[in-house]
Amino acid sequence: MITPTIIMGALTVGLLAYGYNKGLHVEGMNMCFRMLVQILPVLFFAFMITVMAQARVARAVGKR
């Protein structure tokens, strides 16, 4: 998982530098924050559903 993280980080820094040179970095960061606020609750509930389903399956398998 470290390689995709490094690649995404490098792309982020590169695009932020490009936006800074064009004067669009503030607008881009504002859009990023708004998108983050919209996506975080969905990710939170998706992970909660996944964990609850995993616990349910583990309990069902353990009863056999």
What is the reported pLDDT for 63? 66
- The end-to-end CA distance of the chain, in Å, is 34
Q: What is the pLDDT of residues 23-49, one digit of tens each?
A: 888 888 899 899 999 999 999 999 999
Task: Find out whether 25 and 16 touch, Cβ atoms under 8 Å.
Answer: yes
Q: Which of 18-27 are b and which e, b meaning 16 or more Cβ less than 10 Å from the residue's Cβ?
A: eeeeeeeeee
Q: 11 is in which domain, residue-wise?
A: 2-62
Number of domains composing the chain: 1
Calpha distance 17→10 (Å, rounded):
11
Predicted TM-score (pTM) above 0.75: no
